[in-house]
Amino acid sequence: MKISTDFESIAKKSKRKQLWKTVGISMLGVLALGGILTKTLTELTNYHGNRVKEDYLLRSQIAYPNIQYKSWHFNPTSLTTGNFEANRFKSINGITVPYENYDANYSLWQNGDTTEADLIFQEDDHKPSYTMKEHYRSPMFYNTQFQTDDKTFKLPKELEIIKDMPGQAIEVAITFDKPYTYHELSQKLPQNVNLNWLWIGTKSNFDVSSLSPSDQLGILANNSLSQEDLNFFNANLEKAIKGKLFSKTFGTTTDGKHSHTFNLEDDAKDYLKANQTIDTATFKGAIITGTAEELSKLALADWIFASSIGQTVTIQPYHQQETN
């Protein structure tokens, strides 16, 4: 009877040992699986976050008139969500002024929700635009081919009111009466007016004045534009086309016979076909900055189709200004 009891005790201990062994292996398996799952979720979320970053950095090379970024970073909000943010600024006659930060949410499932990152609004149709958060004035470009029966539509000629803004450095978007090369434009601007950015324009007949800054295509100039600068811009423009960065269609119109859609990809492709050398590449608008006294000299320039004031800053004694 004692031998039987010993066997039963040994069997029970063996079963308990086997049970704990099984539990231990199962727990290790669960932990390993959890680690793999966590790593997979993190990598997928990071992938979509990096897509948001890469798309923004690429668009910053081909759009955003006179808007630059000084830094960017990620803000993870959970294992499967996060936020990408870029700190941005403008240069107005060499004076750095703040601009809306860019931010876009991303997650495990999508690259990012950027629908509100660069929205602008107009208080009334065809009136000046402002950013959504801080209400910074957003300079606007106009299409020389746009026609409307709307009698309330009036092209802005805001260079005319700059004479009443003494002591300020001002940002102005000017739309040309026709395309000009960089060399032609540099001859037209007063010596102490800065050429910050050049707009490629549009071949459509759409009203483009309400496009957000992210949808205004152009090149950073900073008073100088070389063949290398144009090559860099064109390469990024082509990269954006291949990467389907311009998937949004803005509208459809008809000329009586045919229906036409307007999207940025068409403008980008058309520009690349015709503008490969700095001597012949043309632009349809520009962001210029300067003091009110210097900019007011352009008030009656017949080659300016429209002019729209953006941000302004009161000049202080400590400001270090730049002149062309």
**Residue 221 in this model has a pLDDT that exceeds 50:** yes
pLDDT, one tens digit per residue, over 3-50 is: 555 556 655 555 656 655 565 566 655 555 555 656 666 677 778 888
Which of these ranges, 46-55, 66-75, 286-295, has the smallest mean pLDDT? 46-55
Distance CA 79, CA 7 (A): 52
Sign of the Cα torsion 130, 132, 133, 139 reads negative
Tokens, residue 57:
């950095």
- Coil, strand, or helix at residue 212? coil
pLDDT, one tens digit per residue, over 150-159 is: 787 889 999 9
Distances (CA, A) of 181 to 9, 15, 169, 174, 279: 97, 88, 26, 15, 7
Summarize the confidence of residues 108-135 as an average pLDDT: 76
- In which band, very low, low, confident or very high, does the pLDDT at 259 lie, cut at 50, 70 and 90? low
**Residue 142 in this model has a pLDDT that exceeds 90:** yes
**What is the reported pTM?**
0.84
